[in-house]
């Protein structure tokens, strides 16, 4: 709009002498970002209920109906264009459709001559979704207004008259950057959740374990899995089964330490009717139940010597004899075993047969304790948080910085099982959008805790921001002004430091 009159793009270009606009940063060749290839605007910017393949959604907010019509005509082939002439309509449309990019005029009614209403709309939009790319397109060309808009979180600032080609390029860049951000978040989520057959870890010990599992899975050799309690030995056994040729068959697991010695033989090998008091019918044992599949013997170190003898014979001959039975039964079952005890010590002390050990341990896999898996703690914790928050209808939960520090400092004697239980309990019992060290029932750090410079700086920043937000009732703009940072910078700091604005309003 020029001198109160709406003008076409061509007329404004002619008045300006060129097809250009003023931006919040110098226009250079190196600053241009290539528009995405056709079909690459993959950010979820479609209206609710839209199907894949629909055009991304663009919200356009301008009080001039002719300008809106011109922009819609120019952009409708590439985007689903939503239009609003005032702040309240814009917010309603934004809440209903959640567009990823917004074109916003600062001169909105009831005060079109000032930028205040437009800046208020900008603040509301970013409060609803801080990742939205808001491009200011306004006749308010003063530098101070541009700085206020960028400081409040605007992604770009363009002054009327706007060159159409430049506007299209800027929009393509906005959607492309938003798409890259969404793809990165999805990739991080998949890396933290998918893992390898239910096992999560990027540390060298885990990558070596995954490679070993792939090798042994396609063989028939017995495998002995060693590791401390809670390291995931059964999960490793299931991964071997799932990646092997027997994956279509059953996977039968038995905890040998949980069954009384007097019943263990019957549980493994089965029994005939009348074999002992209470044996009122024939029953197949776990070995037969695993025919064609895999038998997993957990806590094999607790098996008594007489049962070890019978298991050794089965491993050698692939035949069993039920308790009370008179004939041998051939069974095609692969055996995987696991223990947390020192079997070589058991052999020296006479509690574990040497010949049985070497039959079982054709291949040995050792699972590293959680404290030895550098870099995996946070990844596994995030994986559990994602799973349990979804199961309990609390999607979006995150860890506060104190919780993350406590996780990294805790020695985890119970390994992955302990971490799993603590995160699950925290998701169920914790309050608010961020879990704290207290929610995990971990020490956040006492007087004897030695802080790094980074941790000390973060603690200071956290306290300053928390105090400012409390003084201003959670109002970001006022807290940011007091702290001498922009709104986007304060949002970034709050995310990094695990601060929740809603919890700091009172």
Instruction: Print the domain residue range for 86.
Output: 9-191
Query: What pLDDT sits at residue 500?
Result: 63
Cβ within 8 Å of residue 99, ≥6 positions away: 45, 56, 57, 58, 59, 82, 93, 132
Q: Are 108 and 138 in contact (CB under 8 A)?
A: no
Secondary element (H or E) of residue 297: strand 294-298
In a domain, 197, yes or no: no
Do 157 and 97 reside in the same domain of the chain? yes
The enclosing domain of 383 has a CATH number of 1.10.8.60
Which residues in the chain land under pLDDT 70? 1-53, 139-142, 184-195, 445-456, 498-506
Do 223 and 294 reside in the same domain of the chain? yes
Do 499 and 440 reside in the same domain of the chain? no
Domain end call among 447, 477, 493? 447
Residue 44: how many other CB atoms lie within 10 Å = 13
Query: What pLDDT sits at residue 49?
Result: 36
In angstroms, the first-to-last Cα distance of the chain is 44
In a domain, 4, yes or no: no
What is d(CA 45, CA 61) in angstroms, rounded to the nearest whole number?
A: 17
What is d(CA 72, CA 83) in angstroms, rounded to the nearest whole number?
A: 8
Query: What pLDDT sits at residue 24?
Result: 33
Do 364 and 470 reside in the same domain of the chain? no
Cβ within 8 Å of residue 435, ≥6 positions away: 385, 397, 398, 399, 400, 403, 423, 426, 427
Q: Provide the number of structural domains found in the chain.
A: 4
Do 440 and 465 reside in the same domain of the chain? no
Do 14 and 110 reside in the same domain of the chain? yes
List 158's β-bridge partners, or say none.
Answer: 137
Do 112 and 248 reside in the same domain of the chain? no
Q: Among residues 365, 90, 345, which one has the least CA distance to residue 237? A: 365
What is d(CA 440, CA 134) in angstroms, rounded to the nearest whole number?
A: 38
In a domain, 267, yes or no: yes
Query: What pLDDT sits at residue 309?
Result: 94
Query: What pLDDT sits at residue 139?
Result: 67
Do 83 and 176 reside in the same domain of the chain? yes
DSSP 449: P
Domain end call among 447, 477, 495? 447
pLDDT tens for 284-293 read 999 999 999 9
How many contiguous H segments (helices) and E segments (strands) does the chain have?
19, 16
In a domain, 464, yes or no: yes
List 5's β-bridge partners, or say none.
Answer: 2
DSSP 244: S
What is d(CA 396, CA 389) in angstroms, rounded to the nearest whole number?
A: 7
Do 268 and 341 reside in the same domain of the chain? yes
Do 126 and 160 reside in the same domain of the chain? yes
What is d(CA 460, CA 346) in angstroms, rounded to the nearest whole number?
A: 54
The enclosing domain of 259 has a CATH number of 3.40.50.300
Domain end call among 400, 426, 447? 447
Is the pTM higher than 0.85? The answer reads no
Do 407 and 496 reside in the same domain of the chain? no
pLDDT tens for 302-319 read 999 999 999 999 999 999
Secondary element (H or E) of residue 197: none
Do 250 and 397 reside in the same domain of the chain? no
Q: Are 197 and 175 in contact (CB under 8 A)?
A: no
In a domain, 387, yes or no: yes
pLDDT tens for 342-363 read 999 999 999 999 999 999 999 9
Mean pLDDT across the chain, nearest whole number?
A: 81
The enclosing domain of 66 has a CATH number of 3.40.50.2300
Residue in the block written with tokens 């092997």: 244
């Amino acid at each position: 709009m020029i001198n109160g009159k709406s003008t076409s793009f061509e007329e404004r270009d002619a008045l300006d002498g060129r097809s250009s606009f003023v931006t919040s940063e110098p226009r250079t060749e190196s600053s241009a970002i290539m528009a995405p290839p056709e079909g690459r605007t993959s950010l979820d910017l479609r209206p609710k209920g839209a199907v894949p393949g629909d055009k991304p959604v663009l919200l356009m907010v301008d009080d001039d109906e002719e300008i809106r019509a011109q922009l819609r005509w120019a952009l409708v082939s590439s985007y689903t264009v939503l239009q609003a002439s005032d702040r309240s309509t814009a917010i309603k449309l934004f809440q209903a459709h959640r567009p990823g990019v917004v074109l916003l005029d600062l001169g909105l009614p009831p005060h079109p001559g000032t930028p205040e209403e437009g800046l208020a709309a900008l603040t509301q939009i970013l409060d609803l979704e801080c990742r939205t790319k808001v491009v200011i397109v306004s006749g308010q060309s003063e530098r101070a207004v541009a700085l206020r808009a960028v400081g409040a979180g605007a992604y770009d600032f363009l002054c009327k008259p706007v060159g159409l080609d430049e506007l299209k390029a800027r929009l393509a860049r906005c959607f492309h950057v938003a798409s890259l951000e969404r793809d990165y978040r999805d990739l991080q989520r998949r890396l933290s959740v998918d893992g390898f057959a239910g096992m999560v870890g990027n540390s060298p010990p885990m990558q070596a374990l995954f490679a070993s599992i792939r090798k042994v899975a396609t063989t028939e050799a017995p495998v002995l899995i060693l590791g401390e309690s809670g390291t995931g030995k059964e999960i490793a056994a299931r991964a071997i089964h799932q990646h092997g040729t027997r994956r279509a068959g059953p996977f039968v697991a038995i905890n040998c330490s949980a069954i009384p010695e007097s019943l263990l033989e019957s549980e493994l090998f089965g029994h005939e009717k009348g074999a002992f008091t209470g044996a009122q019918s024939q029953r197949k044992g776990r070995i037969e139940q695993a025919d064609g599949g895999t038998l997993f013997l957990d806590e094999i170190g607790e098996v008594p010597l007489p049962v070890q003898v019978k298991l050794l014979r089965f491993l050698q001959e692939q035949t069993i004899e039920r308790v009370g039975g008179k004939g041998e039964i051939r069974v095609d079952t692969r055996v995987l075993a696991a223990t947390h005890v020192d079997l070589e010590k058991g052999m020296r002390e006479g509690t574990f047969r040497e010949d049985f050990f070497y039959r079982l341990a054709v291949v040995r896999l050792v699972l590293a304790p959680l404290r030895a898996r550098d870099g995996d703690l946070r990844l596994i914790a995030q994986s559990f948080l994602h799973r349990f928050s979804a199961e309990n209808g609390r999607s979006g939960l995150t860890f506060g910085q104190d919780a993350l520090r406590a996780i990294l400092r805790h020695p985890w004697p119970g390994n992955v099982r302990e971490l799993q239980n603590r995160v699950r309990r925290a998701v169920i019992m914790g309050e608010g959008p961020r879990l704290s060290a207290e929610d995990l029932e971990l020490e956040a750090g006492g007087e004897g805790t030695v802080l790094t410079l980074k941790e000390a700086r973060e603690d200071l920043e956290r306290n300053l921001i928390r105090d400012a937000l409390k003084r201003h009732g959670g109002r970001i703009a006022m807290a940011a002004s007091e702290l001498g940072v922009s709104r986007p910078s304060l949002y970034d700091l709050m995310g990094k430091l695990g601060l929740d604005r809603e919890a700091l309003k009172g």
